[in-house]
């Protein structure tokens, strides 16, 4: 056995290793559990007792020398292969490129910046709300269809006999934040409320059951509809460009009177008509109006002394128009091919 160990030691010394595949073959042949050295250790039990000490010493030296050679080549070959990879033009650049903001986040921040420049401050509130803040204090009638479960996601809805009058639900708009601001703060109030809202709607290119809103509120003495119009015109030109056109159409909202819808000229089709603007050349971007006196009184604000305006818009719709995206569902699919297009947008 001593002769076998000696021959094997010369074989290990003479072994040539030039790459990682040869190094792995060396390990399997000599150092693995089924390798030659392991087999010698199995044979060691049959060595006569008077030779065990010498044979054991030689066997341990053999294994140690093989392990040292493996470790040495592993370090040098690994370093060489790492250095060779520097010239590999197919490898990703280092440092790896950073991620980008989601287009909804980009537009949300831009809208906040626009209104911040004219004195609006950001207010936030809970997504899980009660009926009082989402509907009742905003002048929604008890039979208003927006309260129906076809439109609203209720978490808990009380029965008629329940002594607690509040239903618990996912907010359908961020107007609930405005109610909380009016309850705690006296005029003048100038605030915007960005956030996520939920409505039971069919998902399509134009609608989703989850979307993002920014709503604005301005309350002070002698606030008029002209103030509202100029504020929204300033906003539209700052966000979409100086050439954008707006129009206000009469509408109805329980919490504003008079109420209006604001459209902007559709730059997806240049006013020629497309599936997003329903072939009208205009795209509805927000609702607005003068705050209803009932809303002011419900929040303990004197409606005879103060007036105000409010507006609300979907951020997805604003982003669709700004970036000429024709399908709202793209914002929720997390497709990297889509999201990477906005890397330079912030």
Residue 35 CB-half CA count within 13 A: 17
Cα Rg of the chain, angstroms: 36
Per DSSP, helices labelled H in the chain are 2-14, 20-26, 36-43, 52-84, 103-116, 131-134, 175-184, 225-240, 293-298, 315-323, 336-339
- Picking from 61-70, 233-242, 295-304, which range would have the lowest pLDDT averaged per residue? 61-70
pLDDT at 201 (0 to 100): 83
CA distances from 198 to 134, 149, 154 (A): 12, 12, 10
- Tokens, residue 73: 């080549």
Instruction: Record the pTM.
Output: 0.66
- Picking from 27-31, 133-137, 287-291, which range would have the lowest pLDDT averaged per residue? 27-31
The number of beta carbons lying within 10 Å of the beta carbon of residue 314 is 21
Q: Are 177 and 193 in contact (CB under 8 A)?
A: yes
Sheet with 210-220, side-by-side order of all strands: 121-122, 189-198, 210-220, 307-314, 282-291, 256-265, 246-253
- Check whether the bond before 188 is cis (ω within 30° of 0): yes
pLDDT digits (tens, 9 = 90+) for 84-121: 555 666 766 666 666 778 889 999 999 999 999 999 99
**What pairs with residue 191 in β-bridges?**
121, 217
Residue 250 CB-half CA count within 13 A: 2
pLDDT at 158 (0 to 100): 67
Q: What percent of the chain has pLDDT over 70?
A: 89
pLDDT band for position 311 (cuts 50, 70, 90): very high
Output the average pLDDT for the chain: 85
pLDDT digits (tens, 9 = 90+) for 278-294: 788 888 889 999 999 99
156-170, 177-191, 202-216, range with greatest mean pLDDT? 177-191
Q: Are 331 and 104 in contact (CB under 8 A)?
A: yes
Of 103, 332, 329, the residue nearest 205 (C-alpha): 329
pLDDT at 82 (0 to 100): 58
DSSP assignments along 297-329, one per residue: HHTT--TTT-EEEEEEEEHHHHHHHHHT---GG
Q: What is the CATH number of domain 103-345?
A: 3.30.930.10
1-5, 49-53, 119-123, 202-206, range with greatest mean pLDDT? 119-123
């Amino acid at each position: 056995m001593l002769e076998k160990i000696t021959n094997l030691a010369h074989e290990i010394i003479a072994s040539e290793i030039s790459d990682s595949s040869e190094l792995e073959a060396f390990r399997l042949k000599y150092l693995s559990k089924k390798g030659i050295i392991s087999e010698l250790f199995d044979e060691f039990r049959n060595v006569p007792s008077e030779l065990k000490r010498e044979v054991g010493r030689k066997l341990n030296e053999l294994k140690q020398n093989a392990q040292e050679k493996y470790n040495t080549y592993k370090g040098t070959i690994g370093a060489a292969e790492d250095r060779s990879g520097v010239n590999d033009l197919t490898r990703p650049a280092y440092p790896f490129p950073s991620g980008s903001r989601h287009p909804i986040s980009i537009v949300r921040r831009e809208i906040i910046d626009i209104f911040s420049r004219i004195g609006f401050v950001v207010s936030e509130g809970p997504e899980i709300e009660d009926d009082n803040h989402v509907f009742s204090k905003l002048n929604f009638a008890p039979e208003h269809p927006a309260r129906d479960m076809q439109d609203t996601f209720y978490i808990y809805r009380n029965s008629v006999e329940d002594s607690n009058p509040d239903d618990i639900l996912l907010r359908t708009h961020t107007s609930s934040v405005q109610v909380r601001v009016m309850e705690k703060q006296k005029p003048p109030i100038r605030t915007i409320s960005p956030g996520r809202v939920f409505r039971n709607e069919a998902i399509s290119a134009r609608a989703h059951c989850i979307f993002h809103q920014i709503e604005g509120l301005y309350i002070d003495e002698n606030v008029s509809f002209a103030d509202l119009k100029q504020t929204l015109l300033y906003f539209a030109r700052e966000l979409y460009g100086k050439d954008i056109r707006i129009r206000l159409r009469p509408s109805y909202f329980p919490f504003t009177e008079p109420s209006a819808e604001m459209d902007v000229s559709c730059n997806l089709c240049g006013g020629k008509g497309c599936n997003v603007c329903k072939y009208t050349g205009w795209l509805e971007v927000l609702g607005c109006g003068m705050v209803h006196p009932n809303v002011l009184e419900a929040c303990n604000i004197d409606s005879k002394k103060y007036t105000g305006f409010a507006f609300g818009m979907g951020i997805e719709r604003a982003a669709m128009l700004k970036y000429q995206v024709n399908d709202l569902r793209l914002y929720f699919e997390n497709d990297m091919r889509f999201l990477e297009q906005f890397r330079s947008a912030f």
